[in-house]
C-alpha cells in the first residue's frame, strides 16, 4: 500500500470548498529513496445520455515529493485515442486493424480541455498533442512544494468494445477525465496512449457525478451522500446486518411514468458524491435497469450490478465474490477498502479492472465456471494492479502474471484442484474436466509453440507482432509457470513486505535473469513521440 495519507489533505479539501488558499506543504518532505508523488482530485461532472458526454470541472492538488524541480505538468487525455488519425489509430492500422479510422463520427470518443487556471484564477497555457496535454507552470515546483490547478473538460465516451463504452443510455466511464501523468525516478511518463495499459500516481478523489434520477451508479470509492440519492427503503437494506447475499434494489422493471410531469420528476437530476483514498484511478458506470445485490465479508461490502437477462448466472455471484475476497485476504494480505463492485458490462471488453470496481462481460461458454473465473481474475487485479500499482505499460507481466497466479489460487481453494472450471459430465471422454492450472499451461505452451513469443518485459505498446491481443497477455503464463512451481520465487513473493513495484520486479527479474538499461524498459519511439519529449 501507499504511505498513510497526509492530514493536510483535509485542510486542502476545505480550501477547495471555501476558496481559502491552499497551505504550503513544507512539512510534506520528500523521502529518498522510495518517494512517490501525491495527488488529490476534486471533480464535479454531469452526464448527458443523449450525447454520451461528460462535462466537468477538475481541481488537482499536486505535491512534488521528488528530489527534482518541475517546470510543467503533463496530463493524459485517453479518450482522444478513439478518433481517426490518433496515435492509436495509426498503431492499429500498422497491424491492419482499421476499427478506429473507420469509426463514424457518432461513435467516436474525445476529451477536450476548455481552460486551465491556477486556484487564484491566473490562466495557464496548455498544449495538446493527441492524448497528452502539457501545462507550463508559471514558476518552478521545487521539491516539497505543491500547486493547485483548475480545468474544465468535456469527454465523449466512445462506442467501442474497449475498457469504456456505451450500453443503452448508460455508460462505462473509464479514463474519462484529464489525469496527471505519473512522475517517478525515470521522469515523466507522458507516452501517447496506444490502447494498452496504464500507470498513475496514488492519491485521493472527491467526485460529484450528476445523473438523471433514473440511473444507478457503480464506482470506485465510497458513496458519501446516500441519504440524498437513495430511498430510505434501499438504505435500510444496505445497513441491515448479515453477510449473506441479498438484493438491495431491483430496477430491472423500472419505467418512467407516462405523463410528462411524472417523467420529468422520474428523471430529475441527482448528484452522487463519492470519496476514494489511496487509489491511482477512478472509474464509474451508470445504468437504468440494474439489479443491485450485496454480500459482506469481514465488514467489506461486495456488490454486483447486473441486467435481468443474466440473473440466473449472476444471482449468486455477490456471495461468491465474498468467498473470493476471503481467499485473497488470507493468501496475499488485507484488502484495505470498504467496498468492491462487480459490474456486468455488455459492451464486449471481457474483464476490465479499476480500483474497487471491475467490468465483466457475460459471455456464454462451455466452461461451466467461466463467470467465477473472470470474477477471480478481476478481483485479484485489485491486489497487484490496485494496491501494488506497478507500471503496467512497461512491466505488464507484474500485474497480469501475478494476477493469473492469484486467480488459480482462488479457483483451487474454492472449487478444488481438478476440474475447477467444469462441472462433471458423462461420458468423460466427450466432456473432459478442465481447470485453471491446465488452462494456463495449455495457453502458454500453445503460444510458445507458435513462434511469436516475445520477451516477458516487452513494452505493452511495442509488440513486433499483434494478434488482436496486447502483449501483456504473452507474459501471463511465463510468470505463472515460474510462480506455480515450488521455488524460492514463490516463497519470496509471499514474504515481500514492501509493496512497491521494484520489490517484486527485482525478485522476478532475479529469477528470469533479465537486465535492462539504466532507464528501464523503453516505450517504442512512436509512443514516445510528442512535442515535449
Binding site for Zn(2+), by residue number, is: 377, 381, 400
Q: DSSP labels for 277-296? A: EEES---EEEESS-EEEEEE
346-375 burial, b for 16+ CB within 10 Å, e for fewer?
A: bbebebbbbbbbbbbbbeeeebbbbbbbbb
| Three-state SS at 135 | strand
Contact 353, 385 (CB under 8 A): yes
Please enumerate, by residue number, every residue annotated as part of a binding site.
Answer: 377, 381, 400
Tell me the C-alpha distance between 328 and 386, whole Å: 13
CA 390 to chain centroid, in Å, comes to: 13
Tell me the C-alpha distance between 420 and 239, whole Å: 34
Contacting residues for 192 by C-beta, under 8 A, at least 6 apart? 81, 87, 88, 129, 130, 131, 132, 526, 527, 528, 529, 530
Per-residue DSSP letter, 387: I
| Three-state SS at 209 | strand
Tell me the C-alpha distance between 439 and 458, whole Å: 23
Peptide bond into 33 cis (omega under 30): yes
The three three-digit cell numbers of residue 326, written as one number:
476471503
| Three-state SS at 384 | helix
Pairing between β-strand 357-360 and β-strand 339-344 as defined by DSSP bridges: parallel
Q: DSSP labels for 318-381? A: HHHHHHHHHHHHHHH----SSEEEEEE-TTS--EEEETTEEEE-----SSTTHHHHHHHHHHHH
Mind spelling out the 3-state secondary structure of 143-196? CCCEEEEEEEEEEECCCCCCCCEEECCEEEECCCCCEECCEECCEECCCCCCCC
Q: In terms of C-beta density within 10 A (0-12 exposed, 13-18 middle, 19 or more buried), how is residue 267 classed?
A: middle
Neighbours of 58 (CB within 10 A): 22
Amino acid at each position: 500500500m501507499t504511505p498513510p495519507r497526509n492530514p493536510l489533505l483535509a485542510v486542502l479539501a476545505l480550501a477547495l470548498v471555501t476558496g481559502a488558499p491552499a497551505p504550503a506543504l513544507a512539512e510534506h518532505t520528500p523521502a529518498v529513496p522510495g518517494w512517490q508523488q501525491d495527488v488529490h482530485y476534486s471533480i464535479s461532472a454531469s452526464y448527458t445520455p443523449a450525447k454520451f458526454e461528460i462535462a466537468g470541472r477538475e481541481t488537482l492538488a499536486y505535491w512534488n515529493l521528488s528530489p527534482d524541480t518541475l517546470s510543467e505538468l503533463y496530463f493524459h487525455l485517453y479518450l482522444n485515442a478513439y478518433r481517426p488519425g490518433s496515435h492509436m489509430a495509426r498503431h492499429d492500422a500498422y497491424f491492419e486493424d482499421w476499427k478506429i479510422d473507420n469509426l463514424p463520427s457518432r461513435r467516436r470518443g474525445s476529451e477536450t480541455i476548455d481552460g486551465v487556471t491556477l486556484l487564484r484564477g491566473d490562466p495557464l497555457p496548455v498544449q495538446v498533442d493527441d492524448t497528452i496535454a502539457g501545462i507550463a507552470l508559471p514558476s518552478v515546483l521545487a521539491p516539497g512544494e505543491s500547486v493547485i490547478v483548475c480545468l474544465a473538460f468535456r469527454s465523449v465516451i466512445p462506442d467501442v468494445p474497449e475498457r469504456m463504452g456505451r450500453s443503452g443510455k448508460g455508460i462505462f466511464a473509464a479514463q474519462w477525465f484529464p489525469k496527471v501523468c505519473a512522475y517517478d525516478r525515470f521522469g515523466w511518463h507522458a507516452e501517447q496512449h496506444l490502447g494498452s495499459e496504464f500507470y498513475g500516481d496514488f492519491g485521493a478523489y472527491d467526485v460529484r457525478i450528476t445523473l438523471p434520477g433514473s440511473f444507478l451508479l457503480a464506482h470506485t470509492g465510497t458513496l458519501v451522500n446516500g441519504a440524498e440519492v437513495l430511498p430510505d427503503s434501499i438504505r435500510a437494506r444496505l445497513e441491515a446486518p448479515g453477510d449473506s447475499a441479498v438484493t438491495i434494489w431491483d430496477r430491472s422493471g423500472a419505467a418512467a411514468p407516462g405523463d410528462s410531469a411524472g417523467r420529468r420528476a422520474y428523471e430529475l437530476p441527482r448528484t452522487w458524491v463519492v470519496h476514494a483514498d489511496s487509489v491511482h484511478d477512478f472509474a464509474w458506470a451508470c445504468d437504468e435497469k440494474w439489479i443491485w445485490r450485496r454480500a459482506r465479508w469481514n465488514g467489506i461490502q461486495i456488490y454486483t450490478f447486473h441486467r435481468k437477462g443474466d440473473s440466473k448466472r449472476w444471482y449468486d455471484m455477490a456471495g461468491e465474490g465474498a468467498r473470493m475476497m476471503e481467499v485473497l485476504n488470507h493468501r496475499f494480505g488485507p484488502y484495505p477498502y470498504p467496498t468492491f463492485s462487480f459490474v456486468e458490462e455488455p459492451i464486449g471488453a471481457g474483464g476490465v479492472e479499476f480500483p474497487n470496481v471491475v467490468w465483466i462481460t457475460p459471455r456464454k461458454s462451455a466452461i461451466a465456471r467461466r463467470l467465477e473465473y473472470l470474477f477471480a481474475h478481476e478481483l485479484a487485479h485489485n491486489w497487484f494492479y490496485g494496491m501494488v500499482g506497478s507500471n503496467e505499460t512497461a512491466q505488464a507481466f507484474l500485474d497480469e502474471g501475478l494476477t493469473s497466479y492469484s486467480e488459480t489460487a482462488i479457483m483451487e481453494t474454492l472449487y478444488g484442484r481438478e476440474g475447477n472450471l467444469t462441472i462433471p459430465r458423462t461420458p468423460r471422454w466427450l466432456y473432459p474436466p478442465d481447470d485453471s492450472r491446465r488452462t494456463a499451461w495449455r495457453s502458454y505452451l500453445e503460444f510458445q509453440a507458435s513462434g511469436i513469443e516475445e520477451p516477458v518485459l516487452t513494452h505493452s505498446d511495442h509488440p513486433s507482432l499483434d494478434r488482436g491481443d496486447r502483449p501483456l497477455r504473452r507474459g501471463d503464463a511465463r510468470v505463472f509457470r515460474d510462480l506455480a512451481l515450488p521455488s524460492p520465487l514463490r516463497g519470496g513473493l509471499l514474504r515481500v513486505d514492501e509493496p512497491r513495484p521494484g520489490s517484486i520486479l527485482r525478485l522476478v527479474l532475479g529469477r528470469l535473469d533479465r537486465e535492462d538499461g539504466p532507464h528501464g524498459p523503453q516505450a517504442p519511439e512512436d509512443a514516445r513521440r510528442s512535442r515535449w519529449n
